[in-house]
């Protein structure tokens, strides 16, 4: 790490707070529960792998056939109905959101040379409420 000892100590302090945070703990627990469930991991991996294959096919100008689409939709429905998978996906959103918030604040601080206000950190765009960026 190239940061000064003071910055390193504050990073460690932030990491300690993250480890102790209830929402982060809960999200990590839900992710670990998913990873321990071989059936859920297998189902999710199958759906994700097929989704990537279909996306690649479309990217190459080919259209997925009806059987592939039906299979993917079936896998997606099974994933959506699996509470371990949906809990994992929700946990991933929480963890990603925390990481994005930390990164955004640090980046804005480095760019501006000062600590940004909460109002400055609210993204100003036309995406509307409920998109996850507010």
pTM of the model: 0.78
- Give CA–CA dist 98/104, Å, rounded: 10
Choose among 26, 22, 47: nearest CA to 90: 26
Task: Show the domains of the chain with their CATH numbers.
Answer: 20-116 (1.20.1500)
Choose among 15, 16, 40, 42: nearest CA to 30: 40
Contact criterion met (CB below 8 Å) for 88 and 47: no
Q: What is the pLDDT along the chain (134 residues), one digit of tens a residue?
A: 588 999 999 999 999 999 999 999 999 999 999 999 999 999 999 999 999 999 999 999 999 999 999 999 999 999 999 999 999 999 999 999 999 999 999 999 999 999 999 888 886 544 444 444 44
């Amino acid at each position: 790490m190239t940061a000064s000892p003071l910055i390193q100590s504050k990073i460690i302090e932030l990491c300690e707070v993250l480890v102790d945070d209830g929402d982060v703990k809960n999200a990590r627990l839900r992710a670990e529960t998913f990873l321990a469930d071989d059936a859920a991991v297998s189902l999710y991996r199958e759906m994700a792998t097929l989704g990537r294959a279909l996306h690649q096919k479309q990217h190459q100008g080919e259209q997925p056939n009806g059987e592939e689409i039906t299979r993917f939709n079936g896998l997606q429905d099974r994933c959506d109905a699996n509470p371990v998978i949906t809990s994992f996906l929700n946990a991933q959103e929480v963890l990603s959101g925390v990481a994005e918030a930390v990164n955004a604040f640090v980046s804005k601080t480095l760019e501006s040379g000062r600590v940004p206000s909460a109002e400055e950190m609210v993204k100003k765009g036309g995406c509307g409420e409920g998109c996850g960026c507010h």
